Amino acid sequence: MLVLEKNAITEEIEESIKLHGNNRSALIPILQDIQRKHSHISDFAQQEVARLLDIHPVEVYSVVSFYAFLNTKPKGRNIVRLCQTITCDLQGKAAIAKAIERELNCKFGETTQDKKFSLEFANCLGMCDQGPAMIVNDKVYSHLTPEKAVQILSNIK
């Protein structure tokens, strides 16, 4: 009998299922595990999650595409999310975005060539009274100025 070698990602998903269970409520934790390891959730990984949880692939895809923190494409090692909602916008978001783009030579919506940073706009981060605000990975930065934002990213570089 022909034994097919399992893809590494399939084995990782099986490990996640052991940890989180194999029902629908485990879907997001499993997807987060994949994202943590691979910085995105490929089409193949989505299909494998659906197969192993015995749910429709569209259900997995709709969860992945709904949540901004889950990615279908590879991202940089550091994700910069600058708030674009009205309060931060009025407090100078555009100048901060411009300074970051100039510093990293990369536009919002893209990833730097060295894959160190991905730049994204986000909706309100709940820091409106301390705007403009951004999140770099899991850390929130407030009261930003263009200089402060560039300095924060330089420290990460």
Taking the C-alpha atoms of 98, 111, 12 and 54 in order, what is their torsion angle to the nearest 10 degrees?
A: 80
125 binds ligand FES (CB under 6 A): yes
Euclidean distance between CA atoms 85 and 101, whole angstroms? 19
Determine, following the binding rule CB under 6 A, whether residue 83 of this chain makes contact with ligand FES. Answer: yes
Q: In this chain, which of 63, 88, 96, 100 binds ligand FES, going by CB under 6 A? A: 88
H or E segment and range at residue 139:
strand 139-141
Cβ–Cβ < 8 Å for 37, 70: no
Q: Residues touching ligand FES: how many (CB under 6 A)?
A: 11
124 belongs to the binding site for ligand FES (CB under 6 A): yes
Reference 19, options 8, 41, 34; nearest CA is 34
Binding of ligand FES by 145 (CB under 6 A)? no
Closest CB to ligand FES among residues 49, 82: 82
Residue ranges that bind ligand FES, judged by CB under 6 A: 83, 85, 87-88, 124-128, 131, 133
